[in-house]
Chain A
Amino acid sequence: MGVIMGIISSLPGALSQGVLWGIMALGVYITYKILDIADLTVDGSFALGGSVCAMCIVGGMHPMLAILVAIIAGCIAGAVTGILHAVFDIPAILAGILTQLGLYSINLRIMGRSNTPLLKQETIVDKLAGLLPNMKNSYTTLIIGILAVVIVILVSYWFFGTEVGSEIRATGNNEAMVKALGGNTRLMKALGLAISNGLVALSGALVCQSQGYADVNSGQGAIVTGLAAIVIGNVLLGWGKSFGMKMISVITGSVIYRIVIAIVMQAGWVDTSDTKLFSAILVAIALAVPVLIERHRNRPQVEE
């Protein structure tokens, strides 16, 4: 009984964390699905978003403004990967690893240490809690997360419908065509990477404010978490073909992922230290299964 109660009591927290991390997964979706690039900058830019946000708040900045600064920092990080990849033709995965590695030192520089607590400072969660005094902290976080997700989806929906947005989508789809139609594919890739990492940093900033601290290691494995959200979302809501539906499926995937993690942790099946292995196996299976199904479907029909 205790286990089930534990699971139930952990659900609101898992739900709100799932939504906040979902924004990071949307960033991964832009690079992985739209641009067809596996961008490893994510791990670094997530922590960057947290570090920048935390230091801005410690420095007395309004927490909303701190989020904005974090987004800009994330965009710059993404642009660096974009330039390494698109201008200097460094393979995307390596370009992302280089930026990620560099960001680790940069994040330590920004904070001056590996961890920045926000104990006395007011975060947006505290601000909203002030307005809704009777609400549990995890629900306040959930409201903020849902608001942020709605804004991100609306803005993305608009942006990827514009001329530039269409060009980014087409670049991920058929580079030769975009060039033949006068599109600058290098610029589009850099732009896509910048936007993606801006979203990742936004997610990092929100998670930092909801947890009350920033940590230089907070982004470790973020790319895998993001991919997990995308694959889970695709399994559950893959029938939705519209762009808006795809984005909702990613957020749903992220929430389900957090709930699954919460359940296995509460049930005591795995330790906190095992979650990364659990995520890695989950994503590996999710990526391998479609390949195996396809291979099985295309197997030769051998006659005796």
Chain B
Amino acid sequence: MLELKNVKKTFNRGSINEKRALSGVNLKLEPGDFVTVIGGNGAGKSTMLNMIAGVYPIDSGAVIIDGKNVTLQPDYKRAAYLGRVFQDPMMGTAADMEIEENLAMAYRRGKRRGLGWGILKQEKKIYHEALQMLELGLEERMSSKVGLLSGGQRQALTLLMATLQKPKVLLLDEHTAALDPKTAAKVLKLTQELVKKNHLTTLMITHNMKDAIRLGNRLIMMHEGNIIYDIKGEEKRQLKVSDLLAKFEEASNGEFANDRMMLS
């Protein structure tokens, strides 16, 4: 469903701030794979997701989504295949527009926009039903501005928007990191439900090792722009946080004791 072939990316090449973010990443996701991604700060997790989404061009390699080589496509064209939820709850929705207007735009992801009405009557039923699933009561205030919602509500809405048109791959970039623990748990539960219901191929970055182990059928660990650990199936189910910590220790020669990974 998704394949990265030897993807390399260096930021600020040739300057003193040169930073190698990805040093030849290879990754292949089968349809229905739910992969959790962990790694310390600067390991290249977010860069990898951004490269898949086409936010910046890659230096070399190939990005293949559902058999199509999209390496040269800009982000808005790749959006036809991808559902995205960002870490910042403000980034996934348009605050000054209504809930239903936001959903209507998400409903048109990957489609040509014309001079037809931006939101049709029959669509509103679909949105009403979809919003019910969130159990936040948003279906009763579909014409409210999104800016009036809390961070958690906005993130739940973004998640719904990302999956309203079934994406080939769902990209979640620490989408619960900015939420309080209770809300984060709710959004994670919703993530699981949506992924299961739509059989979505998913790539989820998280800083929470317990979540990384608990969710999904596969786990990858990144360090200094490489995937250093890739585990799935039964082996992953047996995995413990202490195993991951040991892996980290090994990869970073003990330096990682300062990392915020320890806190989660």
Contacts and interface: CB of A to CB of B under 8 A. Distances in A.
B154 to A, nearest CB: 11
A173 interface: yes
B4 to A, nearest CB: 19
Nearest to A185: B76
A164 interface: yes
Interface stretch (A132-140, A141-149, A174-182, A267-275): A174-182
Contacts of A174: 90-91, 93-95
Contacts of A180: 53, 75, 79, 82, 84, 86, 92, 162
Contacts of B115: 159, 162-164
A174 B106 CA distance: 13
A105 interface: no
Given A166-B101, A173-B95, A179-B75, A161 B118 contact: yes
Nearest to A33: B96
A166 B102 CA distance: 9
Q: Which residue among A164, A179, A183, A185 has the maximum number of chain B CB atoms within 10 Å of its CB? A: A179
Given A161-B117, A166-B105, A181 B97 contact: no
A169 interface: yes
Contacts of A165: 118
What's the dominant secondary structure at chain B's contact region?
loop
A170 interface: yes
B110 interface: yes
Contacts of A166: 97, 101, 104-105, 113, 118-119
Contacts of B75: 179-180
Contact of B105 (A159, A176, A183, A185): A183
Contacts of A170: 94, 97, 105
A179 B105 contact: no
Contacts of A211: none
B161 interface: yes
A167 interface: yes
A114 to B, nearest CB: 40
B214 interface: no
Given A165-B118, A174-B95, A177-B91, A183 B84 contact: no
B76 A184 contact: yes
Contacts of B117: 161-163
Q: Which of A159, A162, A178 has the most CB of B within 10 A?
A: A162
B108 interface: yes
A166 B95 CA distance: 13
B97 A176 contact: no
Contact of A177 (B93, B104, B108, B114): B93
Contacts of B114: 162-164
Nearest to A160: B118
Given A170-B94, A174-B93, A181 B109 contact: yes
B181 interface: no
B76 A182 contact: yes
A183 B53 CA distance: 13
B240 interface: no
B97 A182 contact: no
Interface string A165-207: 1110110011011111111110000000000000000000000
B77 interface: yes
Nearest to B88: A176
A163 B110 contact: no
A219 to B, nearest CB: 30
Contacts of A181: 79, 105-106, 108-109, 161
Interface in B193-246: none
A169 B116 contact: no
Nearest to A170: B94
Contacts of A167: 105, 113
Contact of B97 (A162, A163, A169): A169
A167 B111 CA distance: 12
A181 B83 CA distance: 8
8 contacts: A162-B114, A166-B97, A166-B105, A167-B105, A170-B97, A178-B94, A180-B84, A181-B105
- Ranked 7 nearest A-B pairs via Cβ: A182-B79, A166-B118, A163-B113, A173-B94, A180-B84, A174-B94, A170-B94
Interface of A: 159, 161-167, 169-170, 173-174, 176-185
